[in-house]
Structure 1
């Protein structure tokens, strides 16, 4: 069942063909239980009602609801299916996830994000999340999270960029970054015999393409060097 190839708006009902495919999927999943649940309903009106009520739900949200059918023994009602598409997010739990995620991003790591809305709500508040308590940021955090959850669709969480800590805040990640820079400086100073001043950068990219683990700092510096003018 493919519910992601078309788009809908918050003002228009979903195409009824989507709902028909959704009901077909439920019939296959639940058999007689699905038939018994809606035996007394006018199917045309039922489909039109679901299509209208699910207006504004994105393809990704509908897919989340369809995927959740596998964990249920009985077919969902419309309110239940809505919650399956848009599962509630507890603001306090999301806050602690965001704090851990922000710390990971500052260390150049991706972080664990159970919902993209948590990431996009967290990034503009990264400093506050690192330095303030939940009670201090509660109102703003809940507003930011609700705004993001209301969007329905989110951009892909980007790959992290290594960020060095401020002076005096020594961490393992900054130590690794300094070591990576030291190695790069050594490679630049000791130029290869072939006279290619950017050979060190090419070799780093070759090692990266070969699957060797390269630090974000090394990779970024090598790419910047090759993109710069001769």
Structure 2
């Protein structure tokens, strides 16, 4: 029987194309050889001849294409399979799952909150999957303002849509607001002196003003004392700072 080769509508499967970096071997040739080295004495015994080996490669190509795997994901699978399958080789589907493990929406939600908070500080944030970043970027305002129980279904749908894309742009560097040319960031002491000067000139509100500049912080602490679990940690922290309320750690030090 003539050996077969999996094809797409636009040509041979990428997994069965020779790669110069692999010495002319295909990616599935490389995977076959690695399995032979990892499971010596048992791997090749599974195959009755060249046609059987080709059937395995064709099956792998179909699964990898169906799962939308990328070259970088398969490369990561090369490094991980021995740890997860130390005594017996994984099937094509099991190997695909190693390359592209399913994303838990609940864990991804908390990762998104932490990542967005970090980027608000000018940090990159820790993102285990680019789809989580791009889903979070499109819902930045909602994630920051809406309680988790109201966002559960919308977040899961947005994440699922991103994961279905299969390919993603690299996660960009966070935007950092820089001072104008020739200027330096204003320190807290400088800001206080500037406000004092403005107050002396009658520009700022006097102490008798009816406007309470800390009203927002008081409202947050009132919600916190009522046990409102929708508050984010950074909201409570900023409210405490604004009101001069010491945290437990500060009181102990």
Shared fold (TM-score greater than 0.5)? Answer: yes
Partners of 1:59 and 1:31 lie apart in 2 by 26
CA RMSD of the aligned region, Å?
2.8
Task: Using the TM superposition, give the Cα deviation of residue 47 of structure 1 relative to its aligned residue in structure 2, in angstroms.
Answer: 1.3
Displacement of 1:11 in angstroms is 7.3
- Do 2:130 and 2:171's aligned partners in 1 also have CA atoms closer than 8 Å? yes
Q: Aligned residue for 2:148?
A: 134
Contact 2:63 2:93 in 1 (8 A): no
Gaps of 5+ in 2: 1-6, 17-25, 191-253
Q: Give secondary structure in 2 for the equivalent of 1:110.
A: coil
Aligned to 1:3: none
Mark the runs of 5 or more structure 1 residues left unpaired by the alignment. 1-7, 165-178, 187-230
Contact 1:60 1:153 in 2 (8 A): no
Provide the residue aligned with 1:85 in structure 2: 99
Match of 1:31 in 2: 40
**Equivalent in the alignment of 1:47:** 57
Contact 1:121-1:148 within 8 A present in 2 as well: yes
Q: Deviations over 1:96-132 (max 9, x none)?
A: 0100111111111111111111111111111111111
Residue of structure 1 equivalent to 2:221: none
Aligned mates of 2:165, 2:63 — CA distance in 1: 17
Cα distance change on mapping 1:99 and 1:66 into 2, 3 Å: same
Question: Does 1:155 find its partner at 2:169?
Answer: yes
Change in 2 beyond 3 A, CA 1:80/1:11: farther
**Could you tell me how far 1:36 is from its partner in structure 2?**
3.8
| Aligned with residue 182 of structure 1, among 173, 182, 186 | 186
For 2:113 and 2:70, locate their aligned partners in 1 and report how far apart those are by CA, in whole Å.
Answer: 28
The alignment's TM-score, normalised by the length of structure 2, stands at 0.57
Q: Does 1:14 align with 2:14?
A: yes
Q: How far is 1:25 from its partner?
A: 1.6
* Cα distance in 1 between the residues matched to 2:35 and 2:135: 34
Residue 43 (structure 1) shift:
1.3
| Number of aligned positions between the proteins | 163
Change (3 A) 1:108 1:180: farther
Q: Counterpart of 2:115?
A: 101
Q: Which one has more relative contact order, counting CA pairs under 8 Å at least 6 apart?
A: 1
CA contact 1:107–1:163 (8 Å) conserved in 2? no
Task: Give the deviation of 1:10 after TM superposition.
Answer: 9.4
**Partners of 1:37 and 1:89 in 2: CA distance:** 33
Max radius of gyration: which structure? Answer: 2
Query: Is the CA contact (8 Å cut-off) linking 1:10 and 1:57 kept in structure 2?
Result: no
Which stretch has the larger CA shift, 121-130 or 53-62?
53-62
**Structure 1: distance between partners of 2:110 and 2:8:** 33
SS at match of 2:14: coil
